[in-house]
Chains A and B, each alone.
Chain A
């Protein structure tokens, strides 16, 4: 079983990259080479070299340390975003698929309405409307992920609601909600899982985009998107400040994408 699980190339590559990102995020809790917010005017725009392995930015802050802490915030935001999307998606999509009819129509039209706005616009509005806090971004982005998970939960439920084991659960007196959440939900977990992992890569990208626009996690907490935005002005003098967070974003997105794709194949979807 174990040998088979890791033989898929996408899965292995994805797992390795995600492990690196997660490890640096975790490590940042206990150790970073420098204080990520400590300015050092004597070492501005340093090139990658010892002791600043990825150089320093315009304030002389250590880029590697900031990337590590940025990974932590990136993962926290994307995990919570996707969790919101999954929970609400399941709560909306399963009844829509199971009960059909009016319930289905109402829920799915609401979801359609949500998808008809450009995502970034919706998030911008949400950030403006919602009370501002450190994690307002999570709620704003979470809403964007509800429609896709609703559709996945709905189609999975449709697939299993007429299955014989659901019929037999009903014949033993289980209520609709019990059939849904005790019998059908575990069976659609494979679909949800691979969607969750791919959703994480989208969430990382979206979080970076919002931070780049200055709407992400509030300063001084380092974020990949804002590092990119700050380094933009010095792109020609000191490209390192932009290349490092850019690579970090790309790597994380690539990792979760490959992992999701590998899972999809492994789970036979």
Chain B
């Protein structure tokens, strides 16, 4: 473990991801910096199209065709991702870095038994014998809670994906991500396609895995309530940048950035009966239509002239809270006094 890492499993600095169209580039993610500590659950929140999923895919270097990393560094477990060859990358994927995707219905191979699919990572990365792999697979199936009453995990391993419900399939995905005991799991909206009750079960599972195995989780979601429930720390993303970051308590109780405030105001749980939910007017500017200033300025209620001139720098508000807003300083002092 190198010293400059400071215990972080993942450190992203000034990440820039660009979408290539003919001969021009659009920057989907621009200057994003992020860190995930070992064993920590970090929630990455933002609305659709703000670049969350691309950020997630850039870590294992699996960006879709037409999207390129044009700047920044990604340090995973002390190693710069861009300095690794294809072999080394494949070695990391699945063994040290697990991915859980959004669509459990289609992310499993329909023609393979789930046991085989969970075992695949072990086959690729571990030196275990076939019998040991089977055993580890059954253990993992039991751990993520796939067996129903009266069904052993070795029987469950013989199921095909179509025989399982969405929630169980997501458990299979989590088992696949976990079976090699990775140091980090990136979960890209893993519960969006699931019922609310199933969502709660999956959170419970993620939390117990985090406590038991000690793997860090980068949890990506557009749902603040979900993130609040699950995460230690939260990073709020808007138009390709992190606008506010901090411990879940700090961010949720004292949101500083106007965008975070808007998101909080639009949570149904917070409004009183009869009170209208707040909505943020306007829409996310698509890549290519962002000005040189703060991307949120056109929609911001407290916008000033300087907001359009330059991207506001990140301001540390406290030990575990920072925001990129020109208003951050003055307001935060006020709010922290009120505690």
Contact = CB atoms under 8 A, between A and B. Distances in A.
Contacts of B177: 172
A167 B109 CA distance: 10
Interface residues of A, number: 17
A172 B124 contact: yes
Interface string B95-114: 10011010100111111100
Contacts of B94: 171-174
A173 to B, nearest CB: 4
Most chain B beta-carbon neighbours within 10 Å: one of A163, A167, A172, A187: A172
A112 to B, nearest CB: 24
B120 A187 contact: no
A151 B8 CA distance: 48
Contact of B90 (A175, A183, A186): A175
A22 interface: no
B111 A163 contact: no
The number of chain B residues touching the other chain, given as a range, is: 20 to 34
B248 interface: no
A187 to B, nearest CB: 6
Contacts of B99: 168, 171-172
A174 B111 contact: no
A170 to B, nearest CB: 6
B93 interface: yes
Interface string A109-129: 000000000000000000000
B317 to A, nearest CB: 35
B91 interface: yes
A173 B62 contact: no
Given A169-B120, A173-B95, A187 B109 contact: yes
Nearest to A101: B65
A59 interface: no
A172 B106 contact: no
Contact of B108 (A165, A170, A174, A186): A165
Interface in B72-103: 90-95, 98-99, 101, 103
Given A164-B101, A165-B107, A167-B101, A172 B120 contact: yes
Nearest to A163: B106
A132 B107 CA distance: 51
A186 B111 contact: yes
A222 B120 CA distance: 51
A175 B92 CA distance: 12
B121 interface: yes
A97 to B, nearest CB: 13
Contacts of A170: 62, 93
A164 B112 CA distance: 14
Contact of A183 (B109, B125, B176): B109
Interface string A131-159: 00000000000000000000000000000
9 contacts: A165-B109, A170-B93, A171-B93, A172-B94, A173-B95, A173-B121, A173-B124, A178-B124, A187-B109
Given A165-B107, A183-B112, 5 more contacts: A171-B93, A172-B93, A172-B124, A173-B91, A174-B120
Interface of B: 60, 62, 64, 90-95, 98-99, 101, 103, 106-112, 120-121, 124-125, 173, 176-177
Across chains A and B, which 4 residue pairs bring their CB atoms closest together, nearest first?
A172-B94, A173-B94, A173-B93, A171-B99
